Amino acid sequence: MTFLQFRILKDRLSGNLFLALSLFSILTVVMIGAGLYWKSAPILREQSIFHLLFSKEWKPFQHQFGFLTYIIGSLVVTGLALLMALPLSILSAVYISEFSPRGLKRILLPLIDLLSGIPPIIYGVWGVLTIVPFIQERLAPRFVPFASGYSALAGGVVLAVMIFPLLISILLEVFATVPSELKDASLSLGANEWETVKSVVLKKSIPGILAAAILAISRALGETIAVLMVCGNIAAIPHSIFDSVYPLPALIANNYGDMLSIPMYDAALMLAALILFAIIFLFNAVSRLVLYRLERRDE
Amino acid sequence: MVLSTLIIAGSLGMILWTIMSRGIRSLNWDMITKIPGGGFYIGKGGGILNAIVGSVYISIGSVLLGLAISIPAVLYINAYARRNAWLANITRLVFDVLFGIPSIVYGAFGFTVMVYFGLKTSLLAGIITVTLMIVPILARAMDEVIRLAPEELSDATYSLGATRWETSKILLRQSTAGILTAILLAFGRAIGDAATVLFTAGYTDSIPTSLHQPAATLPLAIFFQLSSPIDAVQNRAYAAALILTIIVLIVSLAGKYFGKRLSRHKI
């Protein structure tokens, strides 16, 4: 074999190996979906998916697996987080991209990056040490007679802080795709900077902001440990934001220990994971496609 | 606007302050050099060496395994699939989507794989599950850097008669700094994640000596010990939180440093 043939052989072999590993990575998505479906199939054969999703009864010993309380728990916490994080993130992303002096930007961006690197468990410890006591001692007594502090609100606050970095970094990318000619045109017509931001930058970015919000929602829906530590984990539909909630990921994380000893329990928990996976997969795919289109428009 | 920026930056400061001020009080030399004395829930003396070692094992193992999968995949979409743009685009989309999948789902999936192969909670199962979680992180970060390598560079290598394999090596060398950043980023995520290892790596008070033994991890050391009524055990949780934060901060700052050096290699 000549040296050239050897080089070509090496090229072919590595090409096939690399292709195989790429396909393997792509297939991970399929494998996760199929694996979770395989484990949750027994319960789906026994009960209809609508019954499982919209029933409030969760009694593993009596074969009752209604997810409604947990789904509501997840939605409440996620909704609260988005309500707090989205306006704050939009405002500060506008500030960072349009108004802040360059030196400040160079401090703020790494700070936000750092915030995104902190592990969820640390946010959880922070929530337990500061947010929960604050709600219990200061905030809640003004509205309700008794509160433990471990509440939907605490979960929402911790989640909001966790999704700040994600929202801001995507929003900054989105604002960067707004053509500067448009801003110049607006300014030259006599609009001031705030008017330009309002009617050019924000208006042009609506699809991007929506995509960022959806990504943030899916991050918040799947967050487990930090929320689990502060939201109380009582399976009941909350009457106020100071009540405890029990989100879906917390349900999975708390019960994996005994799920193998009760029939159908493991199938029910894997179904919960499958539901999370399906929702988040869909949300991610849609918002990424929107973001891709925005970037392409930029080119 | 300034106010909301302040709130966001302030929340970071507040988190660090809380962890530092509470952790410093609990941290001492025993914490990082001894394994727990009387079981992780019972208390007595001792530290969290088991969790530190377990976390480091899992993170290093999964980063190495993750690199073995993600480097070829990234090279494939950047050097080999140049004419096959749709495959590259789909791969990128899949990595973006996988990046968003929560770690609890990876944990649950890792658990089904374990059951399927008859594995028990072990270091090995933990490494495999964490690897699945960090492959998209590694791939996305490296893809971003390798894509920045100038088109002319690969054109030049091809015109000199290089094969795609040889061009890949050039691309890798051009992106060394970026790959280091990706590794540190993935290491930071791997060491800090609790939900993936909860099902798969288990928890133990000793230091694992083989891949088939369960391993303790820092996030779980925090999670389990924080809920203990005993002060000595709670202190271990706060110390673990401080140590984890310090590790993660060092890793992200090192990542920043390499990221900056990247720009010096401009052609």
The strand pairing partners of A64, in sequence order, are A59
pLDDT-based confidence at residue A268 (cuts at 50, 70, 90): confident
Least confident of A223-237, A247-261, B95-109: A247-261
- What's the whole-number mean pLDDT along residues A233-250? 84
How far is Cα A5 from Cα A1, in angstroms, rounded to an integer? 6
- Could you say which of A39, A94, A126 has the minimum Cβ distance to residue B18? A126
Chain B CB contacts of A100 below 8 Å: 5
Distance in angstroms (rounded) separating the CA atoms of residues A145 and B218: 38
pLDDT at A90 over 80: yes
Q: How far apart are CA B172 and CA B265, in angstroms?
A: 13
Give the per-residue pLDDT at A232.
83
Q: Where are the domains of chain A?
A: 3-46, 67-298
**What digits encode the pLDDT tens for the residues B139-150?**
999 998 888 888
The low-confidence residues of chain B, meaning pLDDT below 70, are 37-46, 82-84, 262-267
Q: Which residues of B touch A273 (CB under 8 A)?
A: 104-105, 108-109
Q: Measured between alpha carbons, how far is residue B101 from residues A32, A36, A275, B132, B196 in Å?
A: 10, 14, 12, 11, 12
Residue A26 confidence (pLDDT): 87
Would you say A229 and A124 are in contact if contact means Cβ atoms under 8 Å apart? yes
Q: How confident is the model at residue A220 (pLDDT cuts 50, 70, 90)?
A: very high
- Which chain A residues are closer than 8 Å to B5 by Cβ? 91-92, 95-96, 100, 108
| B111·A256 Cβ contact <8 A | yes
- Output b/e per residue, B77-106; b: 16+ Cβ within 10 A: bbbbbeeeeebbeebbbbbbbbbbbbbbbb
Decide if the complex's ipTM is over 0.90. Answer: no
CB contact under 8 A, B166 and A218: no
Q: Mind listing the domains of chain B with CATH numbers?
A: 53-217 (1.10.3720.10)
What is A67-298's CATH number, 1.10.3720.10, 3.40.50.1820, 1.10.1030.10, 3.40.120.10?
A: 1.10.3720.10
Q: Which chain A residues touch B73 with a CB distance below 8 Å?
A: 18, 21-22, 24-25
| Nearest Cβ partner for B77 among A22, A219, A221 | A22
Q: What value does the mean pLDDT take over residues A293-299?
A: 70
Residue A58 is inside which H or E element, if any? Answer: strand A58-59
pLDDT of residue B41: 55
DSSP state string for A21-42: HHHHHHHHHHHHHHHHHHHHHH
- Please report the pLDDT score of residue A295 as a whole number: 77
| Residue B148 sits at the chain A interface (C-beta within 8 Å) | no
Beta-sheet strands, E only, within chain B: none
The two structure tokens encoding residue A56: 């409030």
Per-residue confidence (pLDDT) for residue A34, from 0 to 100 = 92
Please name the amino acid found at residue B188: G
What is the count of residue pairs from A and B with beta carbons less than 8 Å apart? 247
